[in-house]
Amino acid sequence: MASQTIIIDTVYDGNFESDETFTVELSNATGGVIGALDTATITIMDDTETVLQFEENPFFDVDEGEQVNITVERTGNINGAVSVDYETVSGSAIESDYVYEKGTIHFADQVTSQMITIDTIFDEIFDDDEIFTVELSNPTDAVIGEFNSAIIEIDDDSDQSPRPDGQFDPDVAYADATNKYLVVFEDFIDNNGSDESAIYGQFHSDTGSPIGSPFEIVQRSNDIPYLPEVVYNSEDDEFLVAWIEFVNDGDVVHYAVVDGDGTIIQSGLPVVSETSEIHTGLSLAYNPDDNNYALAWEFEEKYGSGEGIAAVIVDSQRSKNSMTITPNGEVHDPTLVYNTSDDTYNLAFVYINNGISEIRTSSFTGTGGSVIQENLPLYSSSNNQVEPIMSHNGTIGDDYVIWGGEDSSMDSIMGGLYRTTSGSALEIASTFVDIGSNHKSKHLMDLSGMQVFWIEMEEDAQDPDFYIKTQKISDNNTLDGSVV
């Protein structure tokens, strides 16, 4: 035989190293002699990928007006030049709250880290804590790692605009069995620099007069229970009250059950307790056909890129059935309603699609919570769509969605009928307003049957007047009369 082959295995260790060599040498020939080529040299070339990502668990908590410095790391193969794009993406914080940035980070040969600097904006207007993200995309000669999204939470705790003590975020439900209303609200105090909140309830008569005194539903705590929502159960003459708490650097959703006379039946029951996620935009609905409740909320993983809308059905025995309605999408402002005609829970929300905010809808069954459809487009335009509110019209068996539309010069109130497979939109009113950088001056909307109400600010932003306006909508989705 004129030749033989020697097989040598190299070992993959997952670590980047420079090229390395070893040799194979011949010796101790029997029945022959060793020639001049007695040594073979093997060079091991490391083809480990270049990985670009943010530092582990990239969450940043900054005060309004401060800069945030975010490190992008390069691991694995550090040879050669690589690059990656980055862009700020609005969440509850929008571009009046921070300086929009978009660009490309370049890593020269052997460079292992680069810094992105983002400025937040101080606006002298009190806001709740707000969130935006910085996203990595489009790597060149590299791959993006697990931590591809950095979350920045802007705290508004400046001395110039502290959150005042008082009552916030009221919600109301009507008890037809007793012909009265329950109003729930957050009661906030700054207790010598330690913020504390409680959730209270107050009954009112059908003429608006208070019945009794406010009563505590959630004990005062520095976990800051906030954004209470309430819905009435006509079968058991009880109210379900849900809220969000800030616990262990994350948010949790809790609920309480209040009897029709104000007795606390149960309180502090957890709906979801994954404190690694941020939960906002809570909405409730009651299903009288199956005597259960549905809760829906927006979530965003604090350490990762997952976000969407989650929901849970709570039955009369307090058993829960959880589901994810819109996985892996940038969504905001969920609003929930029960449709008695179809025995379905229907959901409307803002969905960000390639930078454009759209109104979309999803639905799930009223009994088991099986998802029927998700992400059905209802309305889209080049303007921002914000704050949808949903109501069921039992006369025609459809649901009505109201939302606001925003651009640089004009705000509008929009409405649309939502059906299982289609939707149509109608402009209800529009007004030229100057909201400057205060994007909290959005339309606030509520529904009473097919009567639509909103708050409107006149054009003179130096000394503006505010109006509550209303417009009736007919059952066939047309304007009925004029704005009042």
Mean pLDDT by 10 residues, the chain (484 residues): 83 70 88 84 79 87 87 90 92 83 92 91 67 91 90 68 71 91 90 80 92 91 86 94 79 89 88 68 91 88 67 84 69 87 88 78 86 80 74 75 64 53 57 33 40 66 67 74 80
Q: Are 449 and 391 in contact (CB under 8 A)?
A: yes
Alpha-carbon distance 61 to 96, whole Å?
18
What tokens appear for 188 in the block? 């906030």
Residues of the chain with CATH 2.60.40.2030: 50-155
The pLDDT of residue 459 = 55
Q: Domain spanning 50-155: which superfamily?
A: CalX-beta domain (2.60.40.2030)
Q: Is 308 exposed, middle or buried (0-12, 13-18, 19+ CB in 10 A)?
A: buried
Alpha-carbon distance 432 to 314, whole Å?
43
Q: Which stretches does DSSP call E strand in 192-306?
A: 194-205, 210-221, 226-233, 238-247, 250-259, 264-272, 277-287, 292-301
What tokens appear for 330 in the block? 């940038």
Q: Which stretches does DSSP call E strand in 354-443?
A: 356-365, 371-380, 384-393, 398-406, 410-418, 423-432
Q: Are 31 and 111 in contact (CB under 8 A)?
A: no
Alpha-carbon distance 440 to 386, whole Å?
11
Residues of the chain with CATH 2.120.10.10: 166-480
Stated pTM of the model: 0.64
Closest to 381 (Cα-Cα) out of 350, 402, 422, 420: 350
Does CATH number 2.120.10.10 belong to domain 166-480? Answer: yes
The pLDDT of residue 180 = 94
The pLDDT of residue 361 = 85
The pLDDT of residue 262 = 92
Phi, psi of 82 (to 5 degrees): -135, 170
Residue for token pair 């694995």: 76
